[in-house]
Amino acid sequence: MANENSMLLGIDLPYSLEAEQSVLGAVLVEPGVLSELVEKLKPECFYRTQHKALFGEMVRMFTSGEPVDFITVLEAAREAEVFQSEQEAKVYLSHLMEIVPSVKNLSAYVDIILDKQLLRNLMEISGDIMSEARESGAEGRLLLDSAEQRIYDVRQGRAAKGLVPISETLIETYDRINKLNGEDREQYLGIKTGYSAVDEKIGGLNKSDLIILAARPGMGKTSFALNIAANVAIKSKKKVAVFSLEMSSEQITTRMLSCEACVESRRIRNGSLEPSDWIRLTEAAQFLNKSNILIDDTAGITVSEIKAKLRRIRDLDLVIIDYLQLMSSGKRSDNRVQEVSEMTRNLKLMAKELNVPVVVLSQLSRTTESRQGHKPMLSDLRESGSIEQDADIVMFLYRESYYQLQEGQPAPEQDTVECIVSKNRHGETGTAVLRWDGQYTRFYTLEEYRSE
């Protein structure tokens, strides 16, 4: 972000020369500490240009398995032209080794470096905000969103930076692969939807994924999303945020109660409950009460508003938004396709920034109604081709029985639902078959249905 020649409003940016020198000297004195440092520091955490370059070379050598000591670092610094001459490099590296007060206090030096970096980042952001606010035509709302985003990035340790060498990302990648193959692998796999047939296709709900769940009205996409929310919150003990732009929080809760208690929602709405219904509803309410489900029913909400609310939630695991076409971009525009395109891009960025799976429901165009067979395709996604482009996974719900009833045919004994995975950035596409129970607005796997 900032460098040693940077000036902000006439003020030198803060840094601790002694702390930076002590950390680099500690590596030369005791190379074993580097394995601890690579988890806490990155080259850009250092302020002085030479210090950034030196630590970058140390990280590269550590990643490639090269020995790290005075001689090898000196050679690496010479090849990378960190110093103007080899003599200058020898003198400075020797000086670093001599001034280290104590390797035992290394964590304290690291804390000082990180704190100074935080101050520099905040000062630079403040300067940018002041400059942008002075510009003619600046929009306060957009500037506020930008400022909030940049402060959030700093808090999360994701301050803006340049290109990152693969040597740095290899460490994190290898660590994740190791965890996925360890005893606690379940903690690092995608969150299970509660439907084994669907999980087999998509590998669960993975962090940073934008998942589009689309269908024509009447197919049960809201019910399916709420079923997933309940499964994730109750069975997997995860925290789920549900944004409903169409239904009130009370309607959402009523649906979830009906589903979990196996009590017809019609009887709940009509006030015609039997004593046995009350017992099941009470038991279901106890389960839901213990779950971590958060509901927001703000109409016409924007991506920025959703993001602002989600940032305040600790340990969030899953986000569900019902549905895309009811969202607002927060800008005046006559081009709805462009608006939806911008929203899907921002939703994908949000999923990546918050590092959680985001499931967004979407309407389909009417072209499915006139097509023989009525099965949805990616081209049916309503109002924007960018939905398909930005999404990691696109799933469609299709119930043939819905069209059979529309055409006056008798309803089938078993209502089969096809969950069609038409795009999957992580694997194969295909179809998962489920069962639909309309009276309880509930989906089942085939195994669950047979055991009922």
Going by DSSP bridges, is the β-strand pair 442-444/11-12 parallel, antiparallel, or unpaired? unpaired
**Nearby residues of 88 by Cβ (< 8 Å), 6 or more positions away:** none
Distance between CA atoms of residues 312 and 209, nearest Å? 20
Helix axes 249-261, 221-230, angle to 10 degrees: 70
Q: How far apart are CA 255 and CA 220, in angstroms?
A: 12
226 three-state secondary structure = helix
Say how far apart CA 331 and CA 22 lie, in whole Å: 51
How many alpha carbons fall within 13 Å on the CB side of residue 339?
Answer: 16
Q: Is residue 284 within 8 Å of residue 233, measured between CB atoms? A: no
Give catalytic residue positions: 246
Tell me the sheet residues that pair with 215: 363
Count of other CB atoms within 10 angstroms of residue 94: 14
What amino acid occupies position 391? A
Residue 431: name the closest of 380, 394, 388 by CA.
394
Strand residue runs (E) in 297-408? 318-322, 358-363, 393-398
Q: What are phi and psi of 172, to 5 degrees?
A: -65, -40
Q: Are 78 and 89 in contact (CB under 8 A)?
A: yes
Q: How many angstroms from the chain centroid is the CA of residue 345?
A: 13
CA dihedral 276, 280, 286, 289 (to 10 degrees): -120
b/e code 233-247 from CB counts within 10 Å (16+ = b): bbebebbbbbbbbeb
